[in-house]
Structure 1
């Protein structure tokens, strides 16, 4: 007897430990595959620096999440996390669409697919961007202010078009704690909840705007699956009350992204199976049957399948502190500096040493700070750490930074000091 998607989702929600074990095993296979690739990339006389992305693991991880989500739920990939063409092509058959935040990102998506659904968000959209969104057939535009609504209505009127939008609301809360707060406090994002009645009064005048629901993206990098279910429940109840009060159809509710990555403890990641299982009852109790729930996740989808490999160029001590200098740095991989954390890595020992001069090294368990080649003390990838017990580090070894597939290369200042760019390697069978 064939197992339905609903039965599979229910089984996974009852056996979160089994699901976590399967995910862990898949991640370990990916780690081993990338280690082998990095060793093959190592060439004598050329310091190694490369991004390696396991596209098979990416598609598997995201596909698992899509299958776990309940019916009436769609998952979009927020391409700001990593907009490389190879990544988009790997995800296009898996996700329901892409979420973008600029006309440039719209065009990147359209190079991959002429018709895949697109959601367009972000503050300060220009006329050219809004016109481009209409021209490229964006499904939904997330409107961030009354002024943007009026501008979009004017542009759509000139083209004789009707544009579908979601109103992005900056809620008062209470909201769960997370690394980044996008709402529940003063930010540049969304329409202040207290201004919503005024916006609704103006909508009848905007005859080229078709409001199809609400959009919320209140926080980023939430690690607690149970709290995220409660957050989505809060969104659903607010949206249903809005639809009843103002008489607008609630075709879509966009619950944003906000699912995080636990960089400090890679074995304790967001529980996707628990989250998906909890959503089913939320949709049944708090959302009308005609409403589709949208998610636009970035970091959680791509981080685990990306790796940054950097060869050790020097090992030294300065004022009692040990430093490991690698080929590359924050101009390639800015995430650790941006988030002010020590990014997790492992040492890949490279035993070959072709030089007559000595090979500086640090013994196992000696703490050290990993830095790059830039002329700034802020070029730090990890501070006062050691990779693992009983593993030292030598010049010529390679540090392999894991969970580097999101907000790494995409947000880095690539050409500062004009150092070479890293290689970009994509693994796919």
Structure 2
């Protein structure tokens, strides 16, 4: 594919890409060919490869973007890393390495395809180096790393961990814990079904918003998509199934230190409509107390009117997000580990381990939970990792800013998390290099 010279031997990265027979491997090879084939792909060749709501749209706009990408070549494949429904291909060419990033929906269609200069995250050997990497003008950041001992979490390092911050879709961990209570009590089963209606349709991420009205989906599949694909419509369907009141009652037991920060508990549909719909209604939301905000929710209860293209300015400062501190996230992760160990069906563990967020060393890590959350000006990544000996750790990284461009697309923050997990910092224990730690997590 890349080495056309007679007798040339593919690189290890090229061989790995060629050998991947998964839907991601097929999509990644096709995407690389878009950049390396002799001629520019026709619109007919592009059709059928992308979800209908592909952000760039197909046709002239994407063709021009593709033409600009190709001008940065010629390219060689220098790294290929597939992780479930996401994949990253590092391409060398023109003196600059670029990262081709792909996200697939559950049917194997491309939901996102981006191409940008490679973001290099240096290795870290101390927590001070982690803090230096994250220190950016105009960006508030928080780090929490803890060992999950039987007697309770022990902090290895923390910065601003007690500060409530917007976390985007990480709220879905709390929603999952609320659902598991209902399942444990026999009020809901994995085989029950939810029904998509116009009022429950949200915006991506995910793909359930593209289902036809009246489509029925099992609770198991809906929950899987809510966590693995971070499907917003799936989350709203689960919220509707349980009821807002029940979710709010579950927040404290699920690990949130101050559930009032999450009341009224918002659906993604409501955040989109209030955040990027009528500006007067958005201003009214910022002025009202909890009771007034609950009344305002009735005004956005119909079919969603905003689209992905309407998202722009940040709104998390107005309370239009899901606020929690890093210890809340840690407790939700650890609580889900305990939920999984009580679940004799194995469904909970399958859902939580289906997407680790980063390539992981399976010889070292027997269990990896991951959840990401983002919205304009918000980025959160969190992991629970457990080694072969049964020792477990949690890592929570958060960023918030008044402008999305200060944070970027999350590639850097994800890379910092990967560096932490690959380093020896977690195993070093309290008081490790550059640590501000040693106390039990609260």
Larger radius of gyration: 1
Per the TM superposition, whether the score is higher than 0.5 is: no
Task: Please report the TM-score for the alignment, with normalisation by the length of structure 1.
Answer: 0.24
Task: Please report the TM-score for the alignment, with normalisation by the length of structure 2.
Answer: 0.24
